[in-house]
A and B are shown apart, each in its own frame.
Chain A
Amino acid sequence: MQSRTSFFNGTLFRKNLTRFWPLWGLASFVGALFPLALLLQLMRRENFYMWNNPLDFTEMYYNVAAYGVPVISLLYAILCAMMVWSYLYNSRSVGLAHTLPIRREGLFLTNFLSGMAMMLIPYVIIGALCILVSVVGGCFDPKGLAVTILTVLGLSFFYFASATFVAFVTGNIFALPAVYFMLHFLAVLLDWLVSTFAQGFLFGLSGGYTGVVEWLSPTVYLEDQLRVDSTYEIITTQTSLTGAYSETNQLTAVRLEHFWLIGVYALVGVALLALAWLLYRRRRSESAGDVVAVGWMKPLFRFGTAALAALLGGIALYELFWRNFQDGRYYEVAPMLVCMLVAGAIGYYAASMLLAKSLRVFRGSWKGMALVAAGCVALCCVLHFDLLGVEDRVPEASQVKKVELYTANNNYTFYPDEDAELLEQVRTVHQTIVSDKDDILEGYDRRMWAVNSGDVEYVSFDVTYELTNGLKVERNYGLTVTRDRMAQAGTYDNLLDRLVNSEAMKAKRLHVGDSRYDISSGYLYLEAVGDSFDLNSREAAAVLEAVGKDARAGTWGTYDWFENDRRDCYAMSLELSFTFMGEEGHLRGDWISINVRPGMDNTITCLKDLGLVTDDALRTYGELYPEDYQDYADYVEKYGMGAVEEAGPASVGVIGGADGFAAVVVS
């Protein structure tokens, strides 16, 4: 006999589990297939060589926990929620549930616990089988198992709690998964949408996804942040029979990075659960069937849908109908406004129809629609006239923690303490670009046609400022540089040339004197003789030193903005690889591709001394492939550069190099 005021009702709990057994039964069955297959393999000793260490199993668990469990829990939680909370969405079933002699907190807790049980039963079965597999493999690791269990518990709780929260926001079984997925991915979608939209208006703003609010989309964030960090040790063994040495990688440590995030999201789950309970207390049974069951959320839904539709639909309609008529690189405000209004109206009325469960929503709706229109106009005005000053913003040096720059086919990193002068130069170039905005935009198309003419070239100036307050300022400029302007002091062309071709920047490219970077290896391919070599760290260091000497001698490192081909470079690929410790504590890699030219005596001598290069290999691309370069030269000689311009840059491919274009292919 049940307690009259119990917070938990065993009958209801059992009823839920027995009613919905096909769901958790199927999930258990599908999940159990994987450990069972592994067990069979182990029993047949097919994979015994794979599992010689408890950490191998732990690594496997962590991989599943980090990359599989968030997505699986995201999907499975909504299915469980749709089952246990389904009674809320039907007036008959909600009538029965609320007629029963149990308080709403009893219903809430019992249903939540039965849903959690449905979430966890498959994991328990799969986990038990995994333990069995570990034991059979002789590789049981209690710590790894505990971390995995906590991960599964935490994520299951968080996802089911979030699904439960959504279950009380809506009153419609079909709206439940739609709102749930919207909740989980809205931040990422909005991030991308707003960035893309703003990029269409604002000069230099980098488009796409910024990730600033990614933590609000837990699945994306967890997939990004949860990582398995494995440490391997190279074990050298000598075969007793042949005496030969062989190397194997032995896993010595494995950890789940950002494991603490599980705890944070579990706490968020507690908060969502508390909110869900508050919503249930205030929930009206008669809201069964409503798309939004909470009164104050209805305007939010109506205007939120309208805003989303205006942005997403506005961009889509603009791209579809106006992009081809657009003058310049940026959105034209009037057509965009029209597209936004059309899409916003569709979103607004669609949301109104869903809320009213009727198609007759037009009467008296002009006030809401006027608000949507005002919002669209305001947004377009703010962006078109840059009322927030985004375009002009160049952070002060004192605000900057780090600057990353990509230009002239190279990446650079600057720190204020070490590179104050270079950083100031970068800021000056940036400031000048911002000041020249009108000129850059006005002549952009015309100058783009002249790219490859020998006097005009396209160049990217992508700069990211990491500020001391943790924020980032990211700008991306597509520019054209000309010989004329480069000769004029104070133009961005001139300032950029002075920056890129400064001695300090050449040293930066080679990481000279930068203790963060260690030269680790290299690679050399000699096209003339068809030989290739892997350079060890000592050989690579010797080559790097030689290139440095050539840089100081002025025979390497000067970036020629208008040089389009490699005809005068030796037909060889020389790459040097570096390692450095990333800020997140990971060892990361960097590399540089060196175009070796006649005159780089130090480098050539070094390569010869190392026994890597002979005179036979020292042939330029022009000498090796005269027909390729002759064709192009003949074409230009015969028809002039105007013909190339007339044909247009139908396809311009740039193959990068550290010290200039490796190749430019025009088709």
Chain B
Amino acid sequence: MIEVRDAVKKFDGFAALDGATLSVPTGSVYGLVGPNGAGKSTIIRHLTGIYRQDSGTVAIGGESVWENAALKSRIAAIPDDWYYFNQASIRDMMRFYTGFYPNFSMERYEKLKEVFSIDEKKTIRRLSKGMQKQVAFWLALSCMPDYLILDEPVDGLDPVMRRQVWSLMMGDVSERGTTVLVSSHNLRELEDVCDHVGIMDHGKVLLERSLAQLQDNMVKLQVVFQDGVNEVPPELPVLHASKVGRIHTLIMRMNAEEATAKLSTYNPLLVDAVPLTLEEIFIYELGGADYAVKNIVL
């Protein structure tokens, strides 16, 4: 289990983490989402041992990450700006990783060579951004990690390779029980792979639930009211409302049954509950936290 409790990290007085708390169950795929500057990369750098929190705890499997070489040998991380030595080829970096990660599997490395089909003698610097990202996955997955921590991991990968990479990771999750924490802005993609989601803003994790819980906690309803009712009754607890023709689209923070029951008092002509996408949940949750995108999106 990955666990962060009340983590605070300040840079020159600015709190990049301001009491952040999250927990990632073992064997789960956890999507960390949030607007730019929310603190996602900062929390990831704590989880990989780069930063040390000013206060709070950052632990994996009950052990503190900071200066814990044994624990870190079970963690593979791919930051959004993965570093490689300037003149190094893939093979050079592989040798470097084998010197540090005791579980590094040459067998896995050779198998993945076929998946990624990049000449391992090539200098990484000369590869495209997407290919460099593939190399990062190639090496990270060869480390046979128990924990995979990824920051914007599939940026720059083509759609086919994205699927391939996710497929490999899902394989590790199901076969080896790997725990994955992934930060991304691609909510559509996360929706397909994550079973848990945490939403961050202003250095805090605003909420974290399983995807099912999250979707159950908020509902989107398409409603057609009786003739003469042109506006949504003000007493209804609506997070957001819009109207096209006679159809009102309402977002409410409750489950579908509860929302339908509340609307039934107005005898609507039509009530249809539509599941929310992760993107919509993200927008409306952050809308409550004064995140000013609702007017841009809707």
Contacts and interface: CB of A to CB of B under 8 A. Distances in A.
Interface of A: 1-2, 4-5, 9-12, 15, 19, 90-96, 98-104, 106, 284-286
Chain B interface bracket (under 10, 10 to 19, 20 to 34, 35 or more): 20 to 34
Given A284-B52, A285-B51, A286-B11, A101 B70 contact: yes
Contact of A98 (B49, B98, B101): B49
Contacts of B72: 99-101
B96 A11 contact: yes
Interface in B43-93: 45, 48-52, 67, 69-73, 75, 77, 79, 81-83, 85, 87
B227 to A, nearest CB: 62
B83 A101 contact: no
B266 interface: no
28 contacts: A4-B69, A9-B100, A10-B99, A11-B95, A11-B98, A11-B99, A11-B100, A12-B99, A15-B99, A93-B83, A94-B50, A95-B79, A96-B82, A96-B83, A98-B49, A99-B75, A100-B72, A101-B71, A101-B72, A101-B73, A101-B101, A102-B69, A102-B100, A103-B67, A103-B69, A285-B50, A286-B11, A286-B51
A506 to B, nearest CB: 73
A92 B52 CA distance: 16
Given A1-B102, A11-B100, A286-B11, A101 B52 contact: no
B110 to A, nearest CB: 18
A91 to B, nearest CB: 8
A161 B192 CA distance: 53
Contact of A100 (B11, B52, B70, B100): B100
Nearest to B54: A284
Contacts of B77: 99
Contacts of A93: 83
A260 to B, nearest CB: 39
Given A92-B83, A104-B67, 10 more contacts: A2-B99, A9-B99, A11-B100, A19-B85, A101-B72, A101-B75, A101-B100, A101-B101, A106-B69, A285-B51
Contact of A95 (B75, B83, B87, B98): B83
A4 B99 CA distance: 10
A276 B11 CA distance: 23
B24 to A, nearest CB: 18
Nearest to B100: A100
Contacts of A15: 85, 96, 99
Interface in B193-225: none
Contact of B73 (A4, A10, A94, A98): A4
Given A11-B100, A15-B85, A99-B77, A5 B70 contact: yes
Contacts of A94: 50
Nearest to A5: B69
Highest count of chain B CB atoms <10 Å: which of A10, A12, A284: A284
Contact of B50 (A11, A90, A95, A102): A95
Nearest to B76: A99
Contacts of B11: 286
Nearest to A100: B100
A91 B73 CA distance: 21
Contact of A92 (B81, B95, B98): B81
Highest count of chain B CB atoms <10 Å: which of A93, A101, A104, A106: A101
Contacts of B69: 4-5, 101-103, 106
